[in-house]
Structure 1
Amino acid sequence: MSALHVYLASASPRRKELLEQLSVSFSILRVDVEEQRQPHEEAADYVRRLSLDKAKAGVDAAPTDLPVLGADTIVVCDGTVLEKPQNLDDSRRMLRQLSDRQHQVMTAVTFADRNQTLTTLVTTHVWFKALSDEEITAYWQSGEPADKAGSYGIQGLGGRFVTRIDGSYHAVVGLPLFETDALLTEFKKLRGEKL
Structure 2
Amino acid sequence: MNERIMPYDYKSISRLVLASSSPRRKELVATLDLSLPVSVFSLDTDETIQTDWSPSDTVEQLSLAKATAVRQAILAGEAAEYSFDENSLILAADTIVLLDNDILGKPSSIEDAVTTLMRLQGREHQVLTGVTLLHTGTGETLVQHRVTHVKMRPLAEETIRSYVATGESSDKAGSYGIQGKGSILVDSITGCYFNVVGLPVSLVAEMLLHFDVLVLQ
TM-based fold match above 0.5: yes
Task: Answer with 1 or 2: which has the greater Rg.
Answer: 2
Find the partner of 1:120 among 138, 144, 152: 144
Residues in 2 aligned to 1:145 and 1:50: alpha-carbon distance in whole angstroms: 22
Contact 1:35/1:50 (<8 A) preserved: yes
1:140-178 CA-partner distances (Å, limit 9, x unpaired): 110100000000000001011111110000111011111
Asked if 1:148 is matched to 2:160, the reply is no
Match of 1:5 in 2: 15
Structure 1 residues 1-150: aligned runs within 5 Å: 5-24=15-34, 25-62=37-74, 63-65=84-86, 66-114=88-136, 115-150=139-174
**Structure 2: tracts of 5 or more residues without a match:** 1-10, 75-83
Match of 1:192 in 2: none
1:38-81 CA-partner distances (Å, limit 9, x unpaired): 22322111111011011111112234121100101100001000
Contact 1:74/1:150 (<8 A) preserved: yes
Residues in 1 aligned to 2:177 and 2:52: alpha-carbon distance in whole angstroms: 27
Once the two structures are overlaid, the 10-residue window that deviates more, 59-68 or 130-139, is 59-68
SS class of match (2:163): helix
CA shift for structure 1 position 22: 0.3
Residues in 2 aligned to 1:54 and 1:153: alpha-carbon distance in whole angstroms: 22
TM-score (norm 2): 0.83
Find the partner of 2:192 among 168, 189, 195: 168
CA shift for structure 1 position 187: 2.6
Aligned length: 189
CA shift for structure 1 position 4: 5.0
Residues in 2 aligned to 1:8 and 1:61: alpha-carbon distance in whole angstroms: 14
Asked if 1:181 is matched to 2:193, the reply is no
Identical-pair percentage: 41
Moved over 6 A (4+): none
CA shift for structure 1 position 5: 2.0
**Structure 1: tracts of 5 or more residues without a match:** 190-194
Residues in 1 aligned to 2:181 and 2:39: alpha-carbon distance in whole angstroms: 29
Once the two structures are overlaid, the 10-residue window that deviates more, 70-79 or 59-68, is 59-68
RMSD: 1.7
Q: Hey, which of these two has a bigger chunk of helix by percent?
A: 1
Once the two structures are overlaid, the 10-residue window that deviates more, 112-121 or 77-86, is 112-121
CA shift for structure 1 position 188: 3.1
Residues in 1 aligned to 2:133 and 2:210: alpha-carbon distance in whole angstroms: 10
Specify which structure has the bigger relative contact order, considering alpha-carbon pairs within 8 angstroms and separated by 6 or more residues. Answer: 2
Contact 1:71/1:107 (<8 A) preserved: yes
Residues in 2 aligned to 1:31 and 1:108: alpha-carbon distance in whole angstroms: 17
Q: Which amino acid aligns with 1:40?
A: D
